[in-house]
Amino acid sequence: MDYKKVLKSAVEMEYKFLFHSKEHEEEFFKNPDSMIIESDNHKVILFVERDGGVNNIFWAGESLKEVAESLGRLKEKFPNGTTLKISCGEDKNSKGLLDKVSKEFIKIGCKVEFHYVGFKSSNLDGIEADCSEVVKAKVEECNQLYGIIDSSLGGEKFKMNEDEMNEYMNNNENNIFLIRKNKDIAGVVFTNVYEIKSNNTKSLFIRGLAVDEKYRGKEYSKKLMQKAFNWGKENGAINSMLWVEKYNKVAIGLYEKFGYKSYGDQEMILNYII
């Protein structure tokens, strides 16, 4: 199969939700477990990313109905009980598309798992806090990090196994900062600086921010974000973005205090159990 030709066909289709980045696309095609399923009439292409037992679906089609029908036929290719995670989204230029997509996919039995909204801070100067007690996480603290991830971020929403955590921490483009109190991890922020090739700039991505419930009310979130902003600037970032659950008003209010604003992108993950 000519992968480049298939991808080009997918990009040209009317409706689609494809890979998050060029790097993601390259990883997909290098993975021997990846699957590409094309409908008989060549009007739908499904990209099945198989990652550690998780089946992520990216897709393209000339009509949403045909895409949904192709998803429904996946029961012919996977055993009963298999869970497929189907991504879909919209940006400021396609408002209302996510609602149309989700309604069509729900008809075949998909259920919404997560609904995220993109937030962006146009600069890294919106916070003033003493972050002297914020330190870089150590690899040997992985198990403690899992504890705060499960309790505050939700393990299902923030999947990262031990190998992935080690890989994340050993990548110079990533960092994990935390606050320690009484041998506990009181708060943590997961960060990444990535290049936006279209305009040759760098952005700070906040993958996750969490403070243990018993340590809340002490402005630890503010201190962690100040440290993240400082590190981002040191590594060439000029702005920041993150994803937050659409109906998490507490988190949205917190990020708005730090200068973030919704910029129009939304992403939804639907579960489809065969």
Per-residue pLDDT of the chain (274 residues; tens, 9 = 90+): 677 889 999 999 999 999 877 878 988 999 999 999 999 999 999 999 987 778 999 999 999 999 999 999 999 999 999 999 999 999 988 889 999 999 999 999 999 999 999 999 999 998 999 999 999 998 888 777 877 776 666 545 566 666 777 778 888 889 999 999 988 899 999 999 998 877 889 999 999 899 998 999 999 999 999 999 999 999 999 999 999 999 999 999 999 999 999 998 999 999 999 9
Please give the radius of gyration of the chain, using alpha carbons only, rounded to the nearest integer.
20
The answer to whether residue 187 is domain-embedded is yes
pLDDT at 73: 95
Residue 270 lies in a domain: no
Same domain, 30 and 112: yes
Indicate the burial class of 29 (C-beta count within 10 angstroms; 0-12, 13-18, 19 or more): middle
Question: What is the structure's pLDDT at 153?
Answer: 61
Same domain, 67 and 182: no
Look up the pTM and report it: 0.85
* Digit-coded pLDDT (tens) for 88-131: 999 988 889 999 999 999 999 999 999 999 999 999 998 999 99
Sign of CA dihedral 230, 231, 235, 237: negative
Would you state the pLDDT for residue 58?
A: 97
SS3 266: strand
The answer to whether residues 60 and 44 touch, using CB atoms and an 8 Å cutoff, is yes
Per-residue CA distances from 8 to 16, 166, 224 (Å) = 12, 35, 42
Domain range enclosing 198: 134-258
Q: Say if residue 249 is in the same domain as residue 161.
A: yes
- Predicted confidence at residue 155, as pLDDT, reads 47
Residue 271 lies in a domain: no
Identity (one letter) of the amino acid at 74?
L
Q: What is the pLDDT of residue 223?
A: 97
Same domain, 140 and 232: yes
Q: What is the pLDDT at residue 55?
A: 93
